[in-house]
Each structure stands twice: as C-alpha cells, then as structure tokens.
C-alpha cells in the first residue's frame, strides 16, 4: 500500500505496535512500543525522529546529536524515540558496532513493515526508506510540528528543541523566538 501525503499538524499520530532496541544488556535488548503509551502518558510530549538507513554516514551524526540532548528533552517532559525501516536486529548490531550509538538513552524503533512510515507519508518512493522526518506530538497524541529533510542533509536538533519550547508555551511566539524571550500578545 502506497501513501503519499505526509501527516501534518493537527492530525493524530497513527496507531502502531513495533519492536524497538532499548538496551545492549543481554536478554533486555528489545521492547514493544505502542502509540498507546504516547497518549496522556503523564502529560509527556514526544519527539519521534526518522532516519533512512542504519550503517550509513549522516544518520549516526543525527542520532548522536539527539542523544547528547536527551536531558534537554527530559527537562521538557518529552520522550525521544528514534526510528527507521530497518529491523530491531539491524538496530542492535549497529548500536554494538558504532561507538557513538552504544550509549543511546532512547529507543530505536523498527518499522520493518514500513507501515508506520507509510502512514506518516515519509517513505522515499524509489528505495522505500524513510526521509529524515521529525514529528513533535503533544500529550493528547496530536502532531504539532513536522519537519522533513532530504536524505543527504542532517537536521538541527537545537531547532527541534526551540520549536518544542515554543509549542509548550501555548502562546504566540515570534520569528526566531527562544526560551526565556517574551511571547506576543494578540
């Protein structure tokens, strides 16, 4: 089944049940993640970011950058989830193989059926790998921000945090607004 429309702001994040790599500890490597844990989960926000393929060049730079900012997301009551269309076994092998990925503090979701990436509308048409997409989802399960990058260009994690901060104010935020600055009054 082909999907071509990207889910956008104001739409619910799709239902899913997927395997994820959550640890390198033998016997505790895998867990099942579902969308149910995202909705009204202690009023937590979620940032779900996708990369095209494991064992590539740009992807680990992004994954490591997100991992370096895990505490910033935690400070904002936000759960971070990384994802690609590779299997949980490929994710595990990559984490074991790559120095920057061994100590990840967020799950690596495996969308081997490509059903979630397809529903989100982020599958590249020729190779059927996910674009570099980032979704910010509020505690009610509604998508509040979407960003999609070309396969060759890494994203800016600080911009994801800036947008998350702005969304969490629930106020009008001007261009280039950053946390601590004044918001706008209508």
Handedness of CA 82, 85, 89, 92 (dihedral sign): negative
- What is residue 140's predicted lDDT score, i.e. its pLDDT? 92
pLDDT digits (tens, 9 = 90+) for 61-97: 899 999 999 999 999 999 999 999 999 999 899 899 9
Please confirm, yes or no, whether 173 is among the known catalytic residues. Answer: no
Q: Give me the mean pLDDT over the 176-186 stretch.
A: 91
pLDDT digits (tens, 9 = 90+) for 128-154: 999 999 999 999 999 999 999 988 888
Q: Does residue 86 contact residue 52 with C-beta atoms inside 8 Å?
A: no
**Which listed residue (59, 63, 108, 157) is catalytic?**
59
pLDDT digits (tens, 9 = 90+) for 89-133: 998 998 999 888 889 999 999 999 999 999 999 999 888 999 999
SS3 157: helix
CATH for the 17-156 domain, from 2.40.40.20, 3.40.30.10, 3.40.50.20, 3.30.1330.10: 3.40.30.10
| For the chain, domain boundaries | 17-156
pLDDT digits (tens, 9 = 90+) for 23-47: 999 999 999 999 887 776 678 999 9
- What is residue 3's predicted lDDT score, i.e. its pLDDT? 44
Is the pLDDT at 2 greater than 50? The verdict is no
Contacts with 70 (C-beta within 8 Å, 6 or more apart), sequence order = 80, 105, 106
Q: Give me the mean pLDDT over the 14-27 stretch.
A: 94
For the entire predicted model, the pTM comes to: 0.92
Q: 43 versus 163: which is more confidently predicted?
A: 163
- Region of 42 on the Ramachandran plot (φ > 0 left; ψ -120 to 50 alpha; else beta): left
The pair phi, psi for residue 27, each rounded to 5°, is: 90, -10
How would you class 86 by CB atoms within 10 Å of its CB: exposed for 0-12, middle for 13-18, buried for 19 or more?
Answer: buried
């Amino acid at each position: 089944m082909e999907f071509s429309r990207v889910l956008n702001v104001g739409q619910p994040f799709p239902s899913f049940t997927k395997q994820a790599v959550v640890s390198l500890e033998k016997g505790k490597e895998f867990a099942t993640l579902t969308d149910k844990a995202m909705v009204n989960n202690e009023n937590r926000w979620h940032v779900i970011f996708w990369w095209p393929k494991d064992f590539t060049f740009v992807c680990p730079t992004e994954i490591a950058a997100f991992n370096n900012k895990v505490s910033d997301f935690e400070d904002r009551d936000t759960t971070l989830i990384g994802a690609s269309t590779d299997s949980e076994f490929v994710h595990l092998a990559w984490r074991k193989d790559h120095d920057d990925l061994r100590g990840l503090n967020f799950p690596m979701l495996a969308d081997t059926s490509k059903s979630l990436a397809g529903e989100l509308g982020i599958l590249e048409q020729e190779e059927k790998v996910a674009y570099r997409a980032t979704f910010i989802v509020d505690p009610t399960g509604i998508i509040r921000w979407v960003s999609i990058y070309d396969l060759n260009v890494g994203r800016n994690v600080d911009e994801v945090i800036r947008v998350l901060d702005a969304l969490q104010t629930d106020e009008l935020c001007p261009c280039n607004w950053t946390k601590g600055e004044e918001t706008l009054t209508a």
